[in-house]
Structure 1
Amino acid sequence: MDMRLRLEPSDEYMHPLEEATNFNESMYFNFYDHKENLGGFLRLGNRANEGYAEMTTCLYLPDGRVAFTYHRPEIANNDAFSAGGMNFEVIEPFEALKTSYHGKICVLERPLEMADPRTAFTQNPWVDCSVELDYRKLSPMLGGEPVNEDGTPITEKAEQGFARGHYEQHVGGKGTVRVGDEEWIVDGVGLRDHSWGPRFWQSPFWYRWLTGNFGDDAGFVLSITASRDGGRKIFGVWFADGAYEVLTDIKIETEWTDGDHYHQKIHASARSTSGVHEIEGTVKSLIPLRNRRTSPDGEQLITRISEGMTEWRSNGRVGSGLSEYLDQIIDGVPVGIAG
């Protein structure tokens, strides 16, 4: 049976909690304000069957510091995105959403210290933080939930799940960010996404997810996801003139730091109906995040997600966005460095 993507305005709201123990429903919002040289992202992932949410606030401050917090607040249901001081509200589906975080945050002069989160959180200062950002539509919606042609669900194995339903949108964001005694008025651009379905962070072998904006009128998304059997899922779009163009012939080349192998420079190329796009990325600030899980046979699984605030250059324009590199760590080495 053929497959299609289903996306309705109702998908902006919460989905029924499924039986899979690892069912996840999450929203993510990033932003960057060129005038203030300030960026970041908020993420809240409900894992109600496991009794908690994953709450992340990450702010790349103008002087190179990163303000970061991660918490697993208890939740009993999947009724709302509201946990751990973070709240997401749909004002108008596909058009406008409101985000906020109020709580403590850890300020890191050396963001790479988060490779050891216990030490980083105990040896760096914590301050009060508030984020209030209103997001508005810039682009059409991208993605949805794969279903059979007749609309019936597609079955997947929970242990292999990551984001069955998933959509993204380029957005503008306005509001305020306060970290300790510092406050900024934000008028920026970014990207948001919404995912639901079973998720283990260990399901992809590695992936590269690049998001960028060149003002209100242009941007891109590129992704490569690798599986353990050597397969690749490659996808990308170019946003211009109010519409998305699907990209083909996508290539991503990475320059790594010595030692820990963090991405520091990126060259991407892709083709659309309007021509060839060459994209150069320079990581301005990076924080390494970690997820750990014990497999049913007792193996300790470690996943690294490196989040880089990145300056993008393409077609004579300068933009910004996030470069997210996920790798399983095997024998101390990220598996995707040769990919």
Structure 2
Amino acid sequence: MSTSFKPNDDYLHPITDHPDHNESAYYSFAVHDGLTGWVRIGNRVNDGFAEVTICLYLPDGSIGFWWDRADIRDPLLHDAGGLTFEVIEPFQHHRVTYRGPVAIFTDYRVLENPRAAFSEAERRDVAIDLTFHRASPVWSGGPDVKILDNFAGAHFEQHMSTAGTATVGEEVFSLDNGLSLRDHSWGPRRWQQISWYRWLTASFASDLGIACTMIGTDTEGEYIAHGYIHHGPESPATQIVGAKATTSYVDGWYPASVEWVISTEDGATHEVSAEVRTPLPLRHRRDGQTTRIIEGPTTYTWEGRRGVGMTEYLDLMVDGSPIGRDFA
């Protein structure tokens, strides 16, 4: 499970000539009973743009969301559309800033038709200035399987702690003592490469968190599971070797709650409950296929502890239904 990545891997990598070349970074952030959010930049240099996403789940239940195919200012930086990721010290200290708009939505389901939703939505100016500090070792122990070759060939994850603010309109939200998970991947990225996955990212304290992924390897329910439980930056993480997720869905196949059973390398079994709020639907369409990605802020409960984080569900859509609905 230990990483072979070097500090330079926390920066961007040489661009290949693969038409789907992508290098992306993602940061989530949350405080208990306060603001939750995430931001992502995916540099698709050979497509001529960066995928830029800002998502803020406000305490009143509304969502501030923005997505753009932005010009890439420098192909070896994550700096596009007003969103900038800065590596201050590799694997230790990062900074995220954003200056720009978000659209405000009070009903997450309207983004099933994003063009109409954005045309009617209120806009608010946003300023984000956050620093992220290492809370766990870097983890890169995912499976070496062919299905990931055109999705996230090189990939690592790391829990972080946060400090700073996010200003939405006139409201200022503190993210001091916040909890976070980030990931960084590079190589070809085709969103339709994987039929389905389920991703749990939970933080219970700055020195305790879980990241667990189930990835469908076919359309019949076979999957692989991997991830880690971290115990702070100076302690080895515990590798996850198996997982099962039982999901309760609401209309439209939106996850509302999930019961996770996670097995670790030490022979232990961990039961984690997840309550998902405002599960935002995103989509990617290509060659007649549609992939839906659900991103929902989540309250986790594990052995009496209460945690914060995200639930992310990716599915190919078949006849309007997510392909992984019967499996997890």
TM range (shorter): over 0.9
| Aligned position for 2:126 | 129
| Aligned position for 1:202 | 192
Matched, 1:10 2:8: yes
Moved more, 105-114 or 230-239: 230-239
What amino acid is aligned across from residue 247 of structure 1 in structure 2?
I
| Aligned position for 2:87 | 90
What amino acid is aligned across from residue 77 of structure 2 in structure 1?
A
- C-alpha distance in 1 between matches for 2:54 and 2:300: 23
Using the TM superposition, give the Cα deviation of residue 145 of structure 1 relative to its aligned residue in structure 2, in angstroms.
9.4
Q: Could you tell me whether the CA contact under 8 Å between 2:283 and 2:293 is conserved in 1? A: yes
Matched, 1:237 2:228: yes
Aligned residue for 2:163, secondary structure, equals strand
Q: Could you tell me whether the CA contact under 8 Å between 2:41 and 2:50 is conserved in 1? A: yes
- C-alpha distance in 1 between matches for 2:270 and 2:39: 29
Q: Could you tell me whether the CA contact under 8 Å between 1:52 and 1:76 is conserved in 2? A: no
| Aligned position for 1:314 | 302
1:170 to 159, 172, 175: 159
CA RMSD in angstroms comes to 2.0
Matched, 1:59 2:52: no
The number of aligned residues is 321
Using the TM superposition, give the Cα deviation of residue 50 of structure 1 relative to its aligned residue in structure 2, in angstroms.
0.5
What amino acid is aligned across from residue 173 of structure 2 in structure 1?
W
Using the TM superposition, give the Cα deviation of residue 218 of structure 1 relative to its aligned residue in structure 2, in angstroms.
0.7
4+ residue segments displaced more than 3 Å: 144-147, 228-231
Superposition pairs for residues 190-269 of structure 1, below 5 Å?
Answer: 190-228=180-218, 230=220, 231-240=222-231, 242-258=235-251, 260-269=252-261
- C-alpha distance in 2 between matches for 1:168 and 1:105: 27
Matched, 1:71 2:68: yes
What are the superposed Cα offsets for residues 37-87 of structure 1, whole Å, 9 maximum, x if unpaired?
111001000000000000000001001001000000122752110000000
| Aligned position for 1:27 | 25
- C-alpha distance in 1 between matches for 2:189 and 2:74: 17
Q: Could you tell me whether the CA contact under 8 Å between 1:285 and 1:310 is conserved in 2? A: no
What amino acid is aligned across from residue 164 of structure 1 in structure 2?
G
Q: Could you tell me whether the CA contact under 8 Å between 2:315 and 2:324 is conserved in 1? A: yes
Q: Could you tell me whether the CA contact under 8 Å between 2:147 and 2:217 is conserved in 1? A: no
| Aligned position for 1:151 | none
Aligned residue for 1:6, secondary structure, equals coil
| Aligned position for 1:180 | 169
Q: Could you tell me whether the CA contact under 8 Å between 1:135 and 1:173 is conserved in 2? A: yes
- C-alpha distance in 2 between matches for 1:225 and 1:174: 32
Matched, 1:289 2:279: no
What amino acid is aligned across from residue 305 of structure 2 in structure 1?
R
Using the TM superposition, give the Cα deviation of residue 127 of structure 1 relative to its aligned residue in structure 2, in angstroms.
1.1
What amino acid is aligned across from residue 259 of structure 2 in structure 1?
H
Structure 2 spans left out of the alignment, 5+ residues: none
Using the TM superposition, give the Cα deviation of residue 312 of structure 1 relative to its aligned residue in structure 2, in angstroms.
0.1
Q: Could you tell me whether the CA contact under 8 Å between 1:82 and 1:88 is conserved in 2? A: yes
- C-alpha distance in 2 between matches for 1:145 and 1:332: 30
Using the TM superposition, give the Cα deviation of residue 132 of structure 1 relative to its aligned residue in structure 2, in angstroms.
0.8
TM-score (norm 2): 0.93
- C-alpha distance in 1 between matches for 2:142 and 2:77: 20
- C-alpha distance in 1 between matches for 2:237 and 2:22: 27
2:317 to 314, 323, 329: 329
What amino acid is aligned across from residue 161 of structure 2 in structure 1?
G
- C-alpha distance in 2 between matches for 1:157 and 1:250: 19
Using the TM superposition, give the Cα deviation of residue 249 of structure 1 relative to its aligned residue in structure 2, in angstroms.
3.5
| Aligned position for 1:150 | none
Superposition pairs for residues 111-122 of structure 1, below 5 Å?
Answer: 111-122=108-119
